[in-house]
Amino acid sequence: MKILSIKTVLFILSIFSCTATLGQSKKKPNIVLIFTDDGGYADFGFQGSKEIKTPEIDKLAKQGVKFTQGYVTASVCGPSRAGLITGQYQQKFGYEENNVPGYMSPSSKLLGEDMGLPLDQKTMGDYLKSLGYKTAFYGKWHLGGTDEHHPMNRGFDEFYGFRGGDRSYFAYQQLPKNHPDKKMENGLGNFEEPATYATDLFAEKAIDFMERNQEEPFFIFLSYNAVHTPMEATEEDLKRFPKLEGKRQELAAMTWALDRACGKLLDKLEDLGLDENTIVVFTNDNGGPSDKNASINTPLSGTKSNHLEGGIRVPYLIKWPEQLKKNASYDYPVSTFDLLPTFYAAAGGDLNDLENVDGVDLLPFVKGENTERPHQTLFWKKETRAAVRDGDWKLIRYSDRPAELYNLADDISEKNNLALDYPEKVKVLFKKLYEWELTLERPLWQLKRSFEKYDNDRMDNYKL
């Protein structure tokens, strides 16, 4: 038997070491999506706020890429989430309206019982699970309240949160009987009220999941209900903002708690040695509702529920130290429906496997490998109200007054309506909007009075 020399042994060991290092560098990235609720465009430090303090999220902004023109697919919670989680315009499968009391579908026996993400639609969780990811969802779901619509039946291995659109940040002393979707739930059907402030608890659940799954790729959808109503903050957090009053003080305190929770999560990624190869995204579901939570969207006009920029343009960050530059910005319009293909491609998936997706993989654009716009045209629609952005031109269609036309390159605040100055541009954009609408499904649910007005024949058997 031939004995190898020490030099040869060392050479062989070096090959094994290089191979191991190469294998480690090619490990699929972990993915953490931090999705907040009803945040104002200007209510974060990295967005220019001087009174709302967000040091941890500001740090995240400096560690990654800031999208200066980040959009959502809808100006209200439910449809926006449906577009995000499926990577497409949610109107294509009829998810145009918010799934809240007062709306109904023609097939409902009880008001709103089947208003959820259609079961034939694949989610981020579904796609990433198919690539070997462990998946978890924490916080606000708002994509259907029945068991068949439950996160753990829609691609997620674990869930802690609530099925509906809002709830208290503290434990209910008496559970809301008429709104079971407000109950806090651990897994499927195991209801347990939170022992601590919900914002902190959601981050704790996500941290625990990371610790238990750090040896394999994971995807965490951390869906905070902060800073959505009800306006509830801890006394300790309120005391941090003595110069503010009323809702503005409550908003500042709730945002501080949100920032603290995000910071703990990001610190844990670093402690576990996972931060370099983890994609972290921070964004929000729609514009801030200035009436309900005193949010500020400046320099944008508009608020939640409308199609002015303040309703649909949101803070939007992405960090991936192994792949993306620090403290960078990207200035072309992007959408939250781009996140699904971006995550899927980063995880090693073939984009051709995605079904009906309207989003694109953002990484080649952010890296400068593709210098074109990710999207020449973007659309929004709710009932008869709609908007289309083509290049820097934006048309807003209303149900009760003439359309408005803006050039966002010169007028981010949408103060100068150019519709009368450029009638041909109005016609062109109206045509684009109509052609897009022809590809959409009819809304699966509408306000009850809408069905009574237009669908009396389908309402004959409906009983309240």
Q: Where are the domains of the chain?
A: 29-366, 384-442
pLDDT of residue 6: 60
Instruction: Give percent above pLDDT 90 in the chain.
Output: 85
Order of strands, edge to edge, in the sheet holding 404-407? Answer: 377-382, 385-390, 393-397, 404-407
Half-sphere exposure of 263 (CA within 13 A, CB side): 13
Mean pLDDT of the chain: 91
Q: Which CATH architecture has domain 29-366?
A: 3-Layer(aba) Sandwich (3.40)
- What three-state secondary structure class fits 390? strand
Question: Is it the case that residue 448 has pLDDT exceeding 90?
Answer: no
pLDDT of residue 450: 59
pLDDT of residue 180: 85
Using 50, 70 and 90 to split pLDDT, how confident is the model at 154?
Answer: very high
Residue 183: how many other CB atoms lie within 10 Å: 17
Using 50, 70 and 90 to split pLDDT, how confident is the model at 174?
Answer: confident
Residue owning tokens 């290049």: 391
Question: Is it the case that residue 364 has pLDDT exceeding 70?
Answer: yes
Using 50, 70 and 90 to split pLDDT, how confident is the model at 101?
Answer: confident
Element (H, E) at 344: helix 339-346
pLDDT of residue 298: 97
pLDDT of residue 8: 53
Using 50, 70 and 90 to split pLDDT, how confident is the model at 449?
Answer: low
pLDDT of residue 113: 59
Question: Is it the case that residue 207 has pLDDT exceeding 50?
Answer: yes
Question: Is it the case that residue 12 has pLDDT exceeding 70?
Answer: no
- What are the tens digits of pLDDT across the range 408-431? 999 999 999 999 999 999 999 999
Single pTM value for the model: 0.91
- What are the tens digits of pLDDT across the range 13-41? 444 444 444 444 469 999 999 999 999 99
State the average pLDDT over residues 303-332: 98
Question: Is it the case that residue 456 has pLDDT exceeding 50?
Answer: no
- CATH number of the 384-442 domain: 3.30.1120.10
Question: Is it the case that residue 396 has pLDDT exceeding 60?
Answer: yes
Question: Is it the case that residue 455 has pLDDT exceeding 60?
Answer: no
Cα separation, 72 vs 287, whole angstroms: 9
Crossing angle of helices 339-346 and 77-86, in 10° steps, is 30
pLDDT of residue 379: 98
Using 50, 70 and 90 to split pLDDT, how confident is the model at 169?
Answer: very high
Annotate 168-199 with DSSP letters as a single string: -SS--SS--TT-GGGS-EESSS-B---SS-HH
pLDDT of residue 20: 40
pLDDT of residue 9: 44
State the average pLDDT over residues 53-57: 98
Contact assessment for residue 210 and residue 268, using Cβ atoms and an 8 Å cutoff: yes
- What are the tens digits of pLDDT across the range 297-314? 999 999 999 999 999 999
- What three-state secondary structure class fits 385? strand
Cα separation, 367 vs 90, whole angstroms: 28
pLDDT of residue 460: 35
State the average pLDDT over residues 106-123: 76
Instruction: Give percent above pLDDT 70 in the chain.
Output: 89
Question: Is it the case that residue 463 has pLDDT exceeding 60?
Answer: no
Crossing angle of helices 246-271 and 198-212, in 10° steps, is 10
